[in-house]
Amino acid sequence: MSGDIQHLTDADFEEAIQGDSPILVDFWAAWCAPCRMIAPVLEELAGEYGGRARVGKVNVDEQGAIAQRFGIQSIPTLMLFKKGEVADKVVGVASKEALTSLLDKHL
């Protein structure tokens, strides 16, 4: 994993989603094949959007309270937060183009 992606926990999640720049949070699990498929795309986006938007990951097996709070029922689920609020959501594997347009829409 690249240093550009924040691995979020119950302890730092709230602070992470409050930032000024939007954060795209990937709710995932190690056993989830589609989650592994989308991981390289998220790495690229984290690098390309550095300074403008952030990318975070929440392991639903380790951080169940966060997943429960947002009603995550299938993974991967990607949620875009702006100033602590859910601004957008994608369930399932999305193309890099789809995620780029999602991020651009909220910048």
**72-102: per-residue pLDDT in tens?**
999 999 999 999 999 999 999 999 999 999 9
User: Would you say residue 51 lies in a domain?
Assistant: yes
User: Would you say residue 12 lies in a domain?
Assistant: yes
Q: pTM for this one?
A: 0.95
User: Would you say residue 106 lies in a domain?
Assistant: no
In 3D space, the residue among 25, 50, 48 whose CA is nearest the CA of residue 38 turns out to be 25
User: Would you say residue 105 lies in a domain?
Assistant: no
In this prediction, residue 48 carries a pLDDT of 95
Residue 10: CATH number of its domain? 3.40.30.10
User: Would you say residue 24 lies in a domain?
Assistant: yes
User: Would you say residue 107 lies in a domain?
Assistant: no
Low-confidence spans in the chain with pLDDT less than 50: 1-2
| Domain region containing 94 | 5-100
The tally of domains found in the chain comes to 1
User: Would you say residue 56 lies in a domain?
Assistant: yes
Catalytic positions are 32, 35
- Which helix (DSSP H) or strand (DSSP E) does residue 100 occupy? helix 96-105
Dist CA 78 CA 57 (whole Å): 9
Say what angle helices 33-48 and 96-105 make with each other, to 10 degrees: 50
